[in-house]
Amino acid sequence: MLLPVFVALMCSWIFSTFAAAGIVSVSGEVLEIAPPPTVEWEALESSQHAFVFQESAGVVLTSSILMDVIPFQANPLGVYDDGSLAVQNTWKGDLGIGSYDSFYFHADKQGANETFVGSITFDADIAGIAFRQNLNPTRPVFGNPGTDYPTGSTKNYELIRDDCWFSISNDLRTLSFSTYVPHDLDQLRVVTMASSEVPSPSSFTVFAMGLGGML
């Protein structure tokens, strides 16, 4: 009687461990949520926090795609706070062929103007960020099919004040941010390498052999 219970518990533990992926933690004024039906203006508002959700996992790129930020390119400090388009253009680069996960940051204040400050830590390296010109073009590739997105430029993450910036940690795992939202939206897309916690087929094989031996 105990063996089936033990096996069930082991299966639950091992598969929940394998499935753990994406966002490790959030801090400050940001809340992790499931993909919402819409992130259009005035549809998902808060005066207490911004939101972040995982859009997609294991997206395989067979050709490169342009991002607004490739970490540390033309920016060795990894702090992005310059509103000049000429400067922002130097941060751009191609996200190469490979497998990626994507996450969407959304800030839409409710009522009075708000500044949201916080951080998001991922379980894989940040590979690129879209926050302005390449937010729309990357949506068909990385966007969640069940979420409606705004298409205008008013959703862009604007670097127009001293309290408007984002940064990437040296280990490529944490995005920190401060964004002032007076109207419209501040949104950006974070693309990471595909999670290292997704199990390989050999992991399941080893587990299955061990389970078979127990039975």
Average pLDDT, the chain: 85
* CA–CA distance, 211 with 150 (Å, rounded to integer): 48
Q: Label residue 213 by pLDDT band (50, 70, 90).
A: very low
Residue 21: its pLDDT value, please? 65
Domains of the chain, by residue range, sit at 1-20+198-215, 22-196
User: What is the spatial distance between Cα 90 and Cα 83, in angstroms, rounded to a whole number?
Assistant: 12
Q: Angle at Cα 22 formed by Cα 56 and Cα 169, nearest 5°?
A: 115
Of 94, 116, 88, 102, which Cα lies nearest the Cα of 189? 102
Query: Which of 158 and 3 is assigned the larger pLDDT?
Result: 158
What confidence category does residue 205 fall into, taking pLDDT thresholds of 50, 70 and 90? Answer: very low
Rounded mean pLDDT of 78-92?
A: 97
Work out the angle between the directed axes of helices 201-214 and 2-19 (0-180°, nearest 10): 170
Sequence letter at residue 52: V
pLDDT (mean) for 168-187: 94
pLDDT score recorded for residue 211: 38
**Percentage of the chain exceeding pLDDT 70:** 81
Question: What is d(CA 38, CA 46) in angstroms, rounded to the nearest whole number?
Answer: 14
Mean pLDDT value of segment 184-194: 95
Radius of gyration of the chain (CA): 19
Verdict on whether the full-model pTM lies above 0.85: no
Residue 58 has pLDDT above 80, yes or no: yes
How far apart CA 80 and CA 140 sit, in angstroms, is 25
Query: Which pair of structure tokens corresponds to residue 41?
Result: 């203006």
**pLDDT tens-digit series, residues 28-42:** 999 999 999 999 998
User: Distance between CA 181 and CA 188 in Å, rounded?
Assistant: 13
